[in-house]
Amino acid sequence: MKGWLGYAAYRTLSGLFGLLPEPAVRRLGSGIGRASSYVLGERKRLIRRHLTRVLGEPPPPRLVRDAFASYGRYWAEVFWVRPRRKAAFVASAEVEGMQNV
């Protein structure tokens, strides 16, 4: 039953996000992610610990919220993307630090 609920949620969100234009999806995803930083306390502590490990000092609150916004945008894009949109999606992507790969 749990697997079916996850599948149903994914299909529902994909259908809803699929109706929106890409800029709206990105803004909505960022907004939902940022808003979730205020209610997901345990996840917020986890992100703060991870950023502290990377930065060597506790991150400013804005950086933690930005991490949530990025994650929200990621999931919104996952729900939005379709095979027919792949070319446009890839063309708009920007790769930074490829020399490090």
Average pLDDT of every residue of the chain: 90
Domain interval for residue 71: 19-78
Report the domain count for the chain. 1
Asked whether residue 29 is assigned to any structural domain, the reply reads yes
Token pair for 46: 């986890």
Give pLDDT tens digits for 1-44. 678 998 998 899 898 988 999 899 999 999 999 999 999 999 99
Token pair for 13: 């969100």
Token pair for 24: 């709206």
Contact 17, 79 (CB under 8 A): yes
Query: What sign results for the dihedral spanned by CA atoms 58, 35, 27, 79?
Result: positive
Residue 86's pLDDT is 79
Query: What sign results for the dihedral spanned by CA atoms 41, 32, 29, 69?
Result: negative
Asked whether residue 13 is assigned to any structural domain, the reply reads no
**Above pLDDT 70, what percent of the chain?**
99
Asked whether residue 41 is assigned to any structural domain, the reply reads yes
Q: What is the amino acid identity at position 36?
A: S
Asked whether residue 73 is assigned to any structural domain, the reply reads yes
Local confidence band at 60 (pLDDT 50, 70, 90 cut-offs): very high
